[in-house]
């Protein structure tokens, strides 16, 4: 009789453990699902545009969007950058970031934009955001080679412009590596407006 009681208790404990493990697995899976084509997220991005246009967007305005993207490896850090840019009132860079995020959610393809990342390096350095600047510089450097390859494959690529950008990019990285972490607004916008691949 004692064996049956212990067996029943053991069964109950195993059932409870199974329920707990399954609930964690379901929650984890929900956070790992693809956000590609998610109309709710796309609509939330669109809802931020009037605030951006009015130059009245704050980091807290991204809270719902951040929640919607869960732990997506591209979207989550992008939103974190957008929040930092909004704290620094860097509205044009927020606009670029929202555009890239929108395209990513719509297509599922991460944009390769080493110029954009390099521009963010300079913007974050200007505002003393050293860690975000370092992340942007690393992204810029790591995306550059594949970016060039992708553009070469495209038939409508203007190789003269790409070569000019490549030279400017390498010059900027040399300057950064030698300790010069600033650039003119004209240089920053040049990098920010460079085509993505």
Q: What is the DSSP string of the chain?
A: -HHHHHHHHHHHHHHHHHHHHHHHHHHHHHHHS--TT-HHHHHHHHHHHHHHHTT---GGGGHHHHHHHTT-TTHHHHHHHHHHHHHTT-HHHHHHHHHHHHHHHHH-PPP--HHHHHHHHHHHHHTT-HHHHHHHHHHHHHHHHHHHHHHHHSTT--HHHHHHHHHHHHHHHHHHHTT-----HHHHHHHHTSPP-
Q: Where do the structural domains in the chain lie, given as residue ranges? A: 35-110, 112-197
Model pLDDT for residues 79-114, shown as the tens digit of each residue: 999 999 999 999 999 999 999 999 999 999 999 999
Rounded mean pLDDT, 63-68 = 98
This prediction's pTM: 0.81
Least confident of 37-41, 166-170, 185-189, 193-197: 193-197
Rounded mean pLDDT, 110-125 = 97
């Amino acid at each position: 009789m004692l064996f049956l009681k212990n067996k029943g208790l053991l069964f109950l404990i195993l059932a409870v453990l199974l329920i707990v493990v399954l609930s964690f697995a379901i929650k984890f899976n929900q956070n790992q699902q693809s956000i590609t084509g998610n109309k709710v997220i796309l609509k939330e991005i669109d809802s931020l545009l009037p605030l951006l246009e009015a130059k009245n967007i704050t980091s807290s305005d991204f809270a719902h969007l951040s929640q919607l993207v869960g732990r997506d490896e591209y979207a989550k850090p992008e939103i974190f950058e957008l929040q930092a840019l909004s704290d620094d009132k860097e509205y044009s860079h927020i606009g670029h970031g929202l555009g890239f995020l929108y395209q990513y959610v719509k297509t599922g393809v991460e944009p390769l934009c080493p110029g954009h990342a390099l521009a963010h390096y300079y913007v974050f350095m200007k505002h003393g955001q050293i860690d975000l600047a370092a992340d942007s510089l690393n992204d810029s450097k790591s995306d550059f080679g594949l970016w060039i390859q992708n553009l070469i494959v495209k038939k409508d690529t203007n190789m003269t412009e790409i070569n000019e950008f490549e030279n400017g990019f390498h010059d900027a990285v040399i300057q950064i590596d030698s300790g010069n972490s600033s650039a003119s607004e004209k240089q920053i916008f040049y990098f920010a407006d460079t085509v993505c691949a």
